[in-house]
A and B are shown apart, each in its own frame.
Chain A
Amino acid sequence: MIEIKNLHKSYPMGKESLHVLKGLDLLIKEGEFVSIMGSSGSGKSTLLNIVGLLDIHDEGEYYLNNELIQNLNEKKAAVLRNKFLGFVFQSFNLITYKTALENVAMPLYYKGVSRKERQVTALEYLEKVGLKEWANHLPSELSGGQKQRVAIARALVTKPKVILADEPTGALDSTTSHSVMEMLKEINAEGMTVFVITHEEDIAEQTDRIVRLKDGVIISDELVKKTVNA
């Protein structure tokens, strides 16, 4: 689903340039539940941005759904994002003046879905995250966990191939974090590839595979041993 070969990325910092990603190789197959672990500055967010087509890599190859990503213009990137990717952000990134339903329906608008169908589908996904009753509330009227659930519904509504979650629990307390992770697990169980970025060990451990990143290189890539809890 996602294949990265010798990926490099640097940011210009005045006259110097900051080499953030120093040749990454990564293969994520369809249906995997992967977490990228790393402290801040390790390059994990940059990796997510490149995978999410929000940023462009300098060197190396990136295949999304077996398609080589290169010479990507904004328009093409937008279409690919809409088609293949769903985003869940740490700060939710809901549009403040739109209701939960309108927020969820927005990707469908850009997909070109008719208004009526947008409403129906968006409501369906809100129901899935347990917020049907909150459909007409503004984000400011929702709790952090509810906001993130709306964001998840929004990420799912276009039926993407990959869910990219950037510190999805970063702004939530542990109980709410747990329920959000449970929701991501469910989504994964339904067959969707989920790609989580986190710096919290216990969040990473809930995924199937942990890729550790330090100073722009992968230092370990291992499957999580599932301990069966009593």
Chain B
Amino acid sequence: MFDIGRWQEIFQSIGKNKLRTFLGAFTVALGIFIFTVLFGMGNGLKNTFDKFFSDDATNTIFVRAGNTSKAYKGFKEGRRIQFENEDLELLKKELGTRIEYLSARVYKGVQARYQDESGTYTVRSVHPQHQFIEKTIIDKGRFVDENDIRNKTRVICIGRLVEKDLFKNGNALGKFLELDNVVYKVVGVFSDAGGDREERNIYAPVSTIQLIYKNTSDIDQIAMTFNKDIGMSGAQKMVSDITKILKEKHFIARDDRSALFIRSVAEDYEQNMQLANVLQMIVLWIGIGTLFAGAISIGNIMVFVVKERTKELGIRKALGATPGSIVGLILQESIFITAIAGYVGILIAMFALSQMGNSLEDYFITNPEVNTSTIIWATIILIFVGALAGYIPAKRAASIKPVVALSED
């Protein structure tokens, strides 16, 4: 490999045979180019999925309780699981900064009345951070705040449509609304991108509702968002941690699938990522196919080269070239051409991908790119391909008897 004489031989051979070297190199460069571009586009496809799920979709996790389906630790099956305030504290303590926003949800169906108008609505009693989990838009006034939770104040933030129904387009802010005969002050009006159903909800401090209705600390649902820094795989881990913590706390068998329900974007994400991965695998195989087509054609060219050089190789043998040195010579030339041509192919492909940028976003390809490890792999594949393409003809060249080679014209 570091034999200067051998390199001189190779450069001389390349220099004397520019056309065939160019054709061989061109084939490899094209193969690598297509491979890299396809791979980059595969990545672009994945990026689209990634973006779709991390930007547009929320990072929410909803935890709901059900009934156990398995007897466990002395508890009978069919037991109803009830979350309480301390579950919230436990999760806050265990998950730490992985939680971005956290809130309880307690639902109550209520009869609301303002003067002569009345209707049936759902009160969703929550913590202040719920505003960010649900992306509630405050039109007027304010949302439930920490003060409300602490003091168990009787305040509510009503949906835009609740105001419209009960206040007849009047201003509800500062007015008093009767819910199940308990009077609450309206401190805010909200709207929600989620639509009409969401805008018929009423938000109240969770502590207030817990106090008014039987003074319990029961929670119907736990809602949270995860810290986006942990990524989708981190979210998946977090979901499994939540499951573990709550199952332990409530004595639920590990394989019980009906006692806890967790809905998160992480699961959807996983499914869609699998799809993206399958697509990328397909693209990858097409790329590998192309690469092998390139390798075969390099092999073809090397067969031709060897044929063309049969006499020369025969002369070399007569002068004392061992079969090993013949194989080495052909192989090294093949690897050298392949590696250089391949690298040119990679560079052009990377340039093409960077030029492409986000212009193919409409076709679900965002920021197509190849990373360093792919390039390293491509290089390894290149050298392998070059060796493979050169080896068979080289081996053949080395096994030709000198007398046969010399009689060739």
Where the two chains meet, the residues of A that have a C-beta atom closer than 8 Å to any C-beta of B are: 49, 52, 54-55, 74-75, 78-79, 81-83, 87, 89, 93-98, 106-107, 109-111, 115, 154, 158
Contact = CB atoms under 8 A, between A and B. Distances in A.
Interface of B: 4-5, 12-13, 16, 311-312, 314-325, 398-399, 401-403, 406
20 contacts: A52-B318, A54-B317, A54-B401, A74-B317, A74-B398, A74-B399, A75-B323, A75-B324, A81-B320, A93-B311, A93-B406, A95-B315, A95-B316, A98-B12, A106-B319, A109-B5, A110-B325, A115-B5, A154-B319, A158-B320
Contacts of A154: 319
Contact of A79 (B13, B312, B320, B399): B320
A97 B311 CA distance: 13
B65 to A, nearest CB: 79
B4 A54 contact: no
Max chain B Cβ within 10 angstroms of own Cβ: one of A74, A93, A115, A158: A74
Contacts of B321: 78, 110
Secondary structure at the A interface, as helix, strand, loop or mixed, is helix
Contacts of A79: 320, 322
Nearest to A151: B315
A165 to B, nearest CB: 13
A32 B318 CA distance: 22
A55 B318 contact: no
A97 B320 contact: no
B322 A95 contact: no
Contacts of A89: 406
A82 B406 contact: no
A95 B13 CA distance: 11
Max chain A Cβ within 10 angstroms of own Cβ: one of B13, B399, B403: B403
A140 B317 CA distance: 22
B318 A81 contact: yes
B323 A54 contact: no
Nearest to B315: A93
Max chain B Cβ within 10 angstroms of own Cβ: one of A52, A54, A78, A82: A78
Contacts of A97: 12-13, 16
Nearest to B13: A97
Nearest to A49: B403
Contacts of B315: 93-95
Given A54-B403, A54-B406, A97-B16, A107 B4 contact: no
Contacts of B319: 81-82, 87, 106-107, 110, 154
Contacts of B13: 97
Contact of A107 (B320, B399, B406): B320
Given A79-B322, A81-B317, A109-B5, 14 more contacts: A52-B318, A54-B401, A54-B406, A55-B403, A74-B398, A74-B399, A75-B322, A93-B311, A93-B314, A93-B315, A93-B318, A97-B12, A115-B4, A154-B319
A110 B320 contact: yes
Instruction: State the 8 A-B residue pairs at the shortest beta-carbon distance, nearest first.
Output: A82-B320, A110-B320, A97-B16, A78-B322, A54-B403, A107-B319, A54-B402, A74-B323
A147 to B, nearest CB: 13
Max chain A Cβ within 10 angstroms of own Cβ: one of B5, B16, B316, B401: B5
A93 B317 CA distance: 12
B107 to A, nearest CB: 87
A107 B399 CA distance: 20
Contacts of A49: 403
A55 B317 contact: no
Given A55-B401, A97-B16, A98-B12, A111 B406 contact: no
